[in-house]
Amino acid sequence: MLCGIDEAGRGPIAGPLVVAGTILLENIEGLNDSKILSEKKREKLFDEIKDKSKYHIVFSSAKTIDEIGLSACLKNSITEIMQILKPHCNEFLMDGNTSFGIESLKWKIKADATVPQVSAASILAKVSRDRYMYEISKRFSNYNFAKHKGYGTKAHIEAIKKFGRSDEHRFTFKLKALNESEDFNNKINNQSIFNF
């Protein structure tokens, strides 16, 4: 059996990285890349996927991303999924163009739109992360996380300018709109720098 793996939250400047692995036990109609589907459709499929699959979902907090870097978080999450779901499958396929140096992990570009198991993982990761961002939006009302989900929208950048970063923000992600330099971020944490 095949386990599909995908992530949500690689690019935002706030909130967690979420990686999901899914082994489908039954056929599910309407699966696709989670970014293509409407929120209503994703939510409906989310419950159906959980009912008709074996799955594992891993969260990496913004703090952990700052501490060990995005690539390490991805690799650790994928490794955990593989360890948990290995008894139930014989093949792991990740959406994207790298195996992160993990032996026996296969990859395929656009797998989230073409391989049902990866599409399902994409939906589990996306909905899980979106729900998290909705939840913390209540505690961090200044940032309106429920609307932009932590991505670097104009309104989000303006909120950071006014209120600074919260505990849910990634401090190692530099923001051109705030004139943050690479040196500034390297002083905080010697990690790979992302441009937004």
**Is the same domain home to 73 and 159?**
no
121 and 177 together in one domain: no
pLDDT tens per residue across span 72-123: 999 999 999 999 999 999 999 999 999 999 989 999 999 999 999 999 999 9
- Same-domain check for residues 97 and 156: no
Taking only the tens place, the pLDDT of each residue in 16-28 is 999 999 999 999 9
Domain that holds residue 91: 2-137
Kindly state whether residues 6 and 74 are assigned to the same domain: yes
Residue 172, in any domain of the structure? yes
Based on the domain organization, do 84 and 128 belong to the same domain? Answer: yes
pLDDT in tens, 27-78: 999 999 999 999 999 999 999 999 999 999 999 999 999 999 999 999 999 9
Residue 158, classified by CB atoms within 10 Å of its CB into exposed (0-12), middle (13-18) or buried (19+), is exposed
- Structure pTM? 0.89
The HSE-up count of residue 155 (CA atoms within 13 Å, CB side) is 10
Going by their DSSP bridges, the two strands 17-24 and 105-108 should be labelled as unpaired
Regarding whether 70 and 29 lie in a shared domain, the answer is yes
